[in-house]
Chains A and B, each alone.
Chain A
Amino acid sequence: MAKKLPKTDVVIVGVGWGGGIIASELTKQGLKVVGLEKGQERETEDYYMAHDELRYAVRYELMQDLSKETITFRGNEKMRALPMRQYGSFLFGDGVGGAGVHWNGQTFRFLPYDFEIRSKTIERYGKGKIPADMTIQDWGITYDEIEPYYDKFEKMAGISGEENPLGGKRSDKYPTGPMLHSPQMKMFKEATEKLKYHPYTIPSANLSEPYKNPDGISRAACQYCAFCERFGCEYGAKADPVVTVIPVAKNTGKFDLRTHSWVRRVLHKDGKATGVLYTDLTTGEEIEQPADMVVLTSYVFNNVKLLLNSKIGRPYDPASGKGVIGKNYAYQIIKGAATGFFENKKFNNFAGAGALGMVIDDFNGDNFDHSNVNFLHGGYLSLTQTGKRPIQTNPIPSDSATWGKEFKQNSLKYINRTLSIGAMGASLPYKQHYLDLDPMYKDAFGDPLIRMTYGFRDQDKELAKFTATKAKEILQEMGADKIDAMDELGPYDITTYQSTHNTGGAIMGADPETSAVNNYSQMWDMENLFVVGASSFPHNSGYNPTDTVGALAYRAAEGVVKYSKDGGLLTS
């Protein structure tokens, strides 16, 4: 029998950006919040030995231990799904702060087009432009409606940036100015301006200058230390839930944060959530935490896993396209990129910051005419300078040896003589791409793992080819002597890192038939349950997701407070 604790107002499952924002907003409003986090406590002092590529970037010190839990993967429904036994394509956050501890901090808003993608695509190109099994749908929120929440997230995090000339309208400028420009970035800027594109500095959560946010939290400026993504920031400069929203929640005295607490079920009765069941990993004890409201902020996979294992909502059926839990899993198409080799230059490639770089949006969203291309949407093209660390970065020309004398010679020569143009291609959903429970493989508690069915489609292949061509063109303009660009995207491969930009599975919308949550991230089928995170994205845009995750979390927090007062399904 599980031990039953006294009831609280709200219980939050997972304390990363989503959970941290919800906790700070709700406790500020006087609600009593319990935060359950399966991983450990984290603080800036932990990162004293952070500049260790092997430990953090290669051995994944800060990420979820896969021996306890992973996902299974198959490229299509005919394949047997097998567990992701080792890390590759994406990384699971773990511990207080979640993946927000070790993200880069590239903080982009989605485009107005994204939120009304179906209507706007049909309006401009007609229904025929959308492939029959592509399940893009409007988000049930417009850019203008989400804008104030973007602003809120950006001010809390202190985002450093300058206005995107092709982005949606801003109610205010970024709270801090753009990051420094390196010679590499200047080359990108000049080249893209010559090509008549619209370069701007990547909006950064690394902090270009010291900053005090509206919650009264002060942080130091980024030191461009080059150990950012996959690492914790030893300066507390990078916006991370642990140095922003979580202390705010703690200071209210209303936040009870419990680490080593692995939630296994959302408990419910008569269509309402009653609390959660979790295991205290330090004692093995099963504990029931009753609550008036439950918020899932446990990232895409665990949000969906908890819903399915708790038998909440209507599971998605890929044959009929009916049901919603697990629907519209999408990702990010980033391989349509190119690398340029500069024989007579030597760059300080070892220096950088997680969100340092320049970017253009000329080929993102519907910022260009798609009449003559065989794909929808697009992606940004960028030059980033995050610090080329030596184990993982050994650039060599595509036609050269990968080990031995020639490899050594080339990798030493080119490490400071290469620049890459990356693409952040949008990933649009298909009827056959979804998450469900694996029939075979289990986690450490015997609960079924999430099974992912996902592969690259013609849409993705065409998009990647397109962005690779543009990347090559920019490198040519920058004066590269030799350019290696992606030729063919190939199948989706879970073994190579691409991005931790997984989306969908509990998507938002205006219609309960085709979406799991409304635009407050409130479950249509269980009104006191909120499911927050990129799981609510109906598709993934040509940008990194976290600005949008943060914005939707602020809106969800507003929803929870409203619900706590008035009850019922919230309307906008």
Chain B
Amino acid sequence: MAEDNNKEKIDQESLSRRKFLRNSGFAVGGLAVGGVLGSVIPWGTDEKEPQQAANETKNYNHALMNFNQVEFQTVEAATERIFPEDENGPGAQALGVAFYIDHQLAGSYGFNARDYMNPPFFHGEKTQGYQGRLKRREIFKIGIREMQNYSHSKYKKGFTDLTADEQDTVLADFADDKVNITTVSASGFFNLLRSMTLEGVYSDPLYGGNKDMQGWKLRDYPGDQMNYTQVIESEEFQQIEPRSLRDHM
């Protein structure tokens, strides 16, 4: 109960703050004026958002450790195309996948801390795996910029301003190595983006994605259960309310 009360209080606060910013003219049509304030206004700008926010606790995890805002928005848009919202339920954006990726890249995975990164670096066969000297966070930084450049040269617009179909075309061109770039492997970047999208959709919510276990619910996945001894022999499909590692504490 105490927790619930607390939640309401926080939501009240964030609502009024948002209202203040809107009414005081710092925000125009939901867009923040100036870079600094942009970070205090939630990015989602459609009208139903305050309603939604009223039902949610403020998520302190939803801030950035690695990306700048443009990078974040680009990744958010791209992952949403890779795993879009549809009649089955939420897509990457609503599941918090871009935050997940941001957080992962800020840590040991982004720094390839447990990979063999010793020189010399040679171009190898595909069967020999990644042989580059760039770390994942660098690949992302460059890959995102290349995606922006490619969007501009093809459509005269940044990636986030493209229509969904145009975004798909850009992503497909990266996936199929139809983009003429030399800085990173286009398909290598795409594959990393794709695999990290799935990680963000399906990893335990503890990592910042898979919001409220909704990724798991999409596929009737029960998450972290202690025991399936009763399920193994069952002829019927068992719908089990998912549990996360948080429930295991």
Contacts and interface: CB of A to CB of B under 8 A. Distances in A.
A85 B125 contact: no
Interface stretch (B47-55, B109-117, B147-155): B109-117
B241 to A, nearest CB: 13
Interface string B188-231: 00000010011101111011000000011011111111111101
Interface string A278-301: 000000000000000000000000
B244 to A, nearest CB: 9
B4 interface: no
Contacts of B86: 405, 408-409
A390 B219 contact: yes
Interface residues of B, number: 61
A181 interface: yes
Contacts of A225: 225-228
Main secondary structure of the interface of B (DSSP, over half): loop
A415 B88 CA distance: 14
A373 interface: no
B115 A67 contact: yes
B88 A409 contact: yes
A431 B206 CA distance: 50
B245 A51 contact: yes
B118 A391 contact: no
A207 to B, nearest CB: 12
B118 A73 contact: no
B237 A441 contact: no
Given A348-B237, A390-B216, A85 B127 contact: no
A222 to B, nearest CB: 8
A224 B218 contact: no
Given A85-B117, A394-B198, A404 B127 contact: no
Given A75-B125, A351-B228, A416-B219, A404 B84 contact: yes
A86 B129 contact: yes
A225 B222 CA distance: 11
Contacts of B81: 403-404
Contacts of B124: 80, 82
Given A51-B245, A416-B237, A442-B118, A348 B226 contact: no
Interface string A58-87: 111000011101100111000110111110
B199 A75 contact: no
B82 A403 contact: yes
A67 B232 contact: no
A494 B127 CA distance: 6
Contact of A412 (B88, B112, B204): B88
Nearest to A179: B232
Contacts of B203: 52-54, 58, 391
Nearest to B243: A51
A180 B116 contact: no
A495 interface: yes
Contacts of B219: 390, 411-412, 415-416
A182 B237 CA distance: 12
Contacts of B130: 85-86, 495
A351 B232 CA distance: 7
Interface in B122-143: 122, 124-131
Contacts of A48: 248
A52 B245 contact: yes
Main secondary structure of the interface of A (DSSP, over half): loop
B75 to A, nearest CB: 14
A122 interface: no
Contacts of A83: 116, 118, 131
A351 to B, nearest CB: 4
B222 A181 contact: no
A53 B115 contact: no
Contacts of B128: 73-74, 82, 84, 494-495
A348 B231 contact: yes
A78 B202 CA distance: 42
A65 B114 contact: yes
Contacts of A86: 112, 115-116, 129-130
A54 B204 contact: yes
A350 B227 CA distance: 11
Contacts of A494: 127-129
Contacts of A224: 227-229, 231-232
A321 interface: no
Interface string B156-170: 000000000000100
B116 A84 contact: yes
Interface string A196-235: 0000000000000000000000000001111000000000
A488 to B, nearest CB: 14
B232 A348 contact: yes
Contacts of B237: 346-348, 416
A88 interface: yes
B186 interface: no
Interface in A380-418: 385, 390-391, 394, 402-405, 407-409, 411-412, 415-416
A493 B199 CA distance: 23
Contacts of A223: 226-229
A491 interface: yes
B235 A183 contact: yes
A409 B227 CA distance: 29
B171 to A, nearest CB: 7
Interface of B: 81-84, 86, 88, 91, 109, 112-118, 120, 122, 124-131, 168, 171, 175, 194, 197-199, 201-204, 206-207, 215-216, 218-229, 231-235, 237-238, 245, 248
24 contacts: A51-B225, A52-B224, A59-B109, A67-B116, A70-B116, A73-B128, A74-B128, A75-B125, A82-B131, A180-B229, A226-B225, A346-B237, A347-B237, A351-B232, A391-B198, A403-B175, A404-B84, A409-B86, A411-B219, A412-B88, A415-B221, A416-B220, A492-B127, A495-B126
Given A49-B248, A52-B206, A492-B127, 4 more contacts: A70-B116, A223-B229, A403-B82, A416-B220
Nearest 7 interchain pairs by C-beta: A351-B228, A390-B202, A54-B203, A51-B224, A346-B237, A223-B227, A224-B228
